[in-house]
Amino acid sequence: MSTTIEFYKAYSRQSRSMWADNARVVLTFDAESKQGVYLHLGGFGINGFSISKQLQTLLPTSLQQQYIDVAHIDIVMHVFHKHIEGYCKEHVLEAAFKEVFLLNQEAFFSKSAKSQWEKSFHSFVEHSD
């Protein structure tokens, strides 16, 4: 049983997601439970996220589903930023990370970015339901 997964994977066949994906990026993955958060990429950029079943429970109720549209990127990043940052710093080469996100990990996970994710999360929660 494999304990590793490719950070960036270009698809050789059609994705099972609802989008016209051509690649996916692993944002966090636990080899033991096989739970993860994945970023789906298409011809025009980010399509959205897929989130493993157990991790979905950490999201606001209205977003507890496998596929989440890119419109909710800040909410997903806020909820999972500790998981994502820890996974990327431990398992993803800085050069590979920068190729995908155009920034190094320090800049991507900056205090400013986290503050924006948190602000968007609280606004979403305040205006949902």
Q: Does 2 reside within a domain?
A: no
On whether residue 3 sits in a domain, the answer given is no
Is the pLDDT assigned to residue 64 strictly greater than 90? yes
Q: For the residues 52-76, what does the mean pLDDT come to?
A: 96
Q: Model-level pTM?
A: 0.88
Number of domains in the chain: 1
Least confident of 1-15, 40-54, 78-92: 1-15
Q: Which domain holds residue 44?
A: 8-127
Contacts of residue 27, defined as CB under 8 A and 6 or more positions apart, other chains included, come to 36, 37, 38, 39, 49, 80, 83, 84, 87, 88
pLDDT at 16 over 80: no
The percentage of residues in the chain with a pLDDT greater than 90, rounded to a whole number, is: 71
Residue 108 lies in a domain: yes
pLDDT of amino acid 7: 72
Determine, yes or no, domain membership for 1.
no
Do the domain assignments include residue 98? yes
Judged against a pLDDT cut of 50, whether residue 13 lies above it is answered with: yes
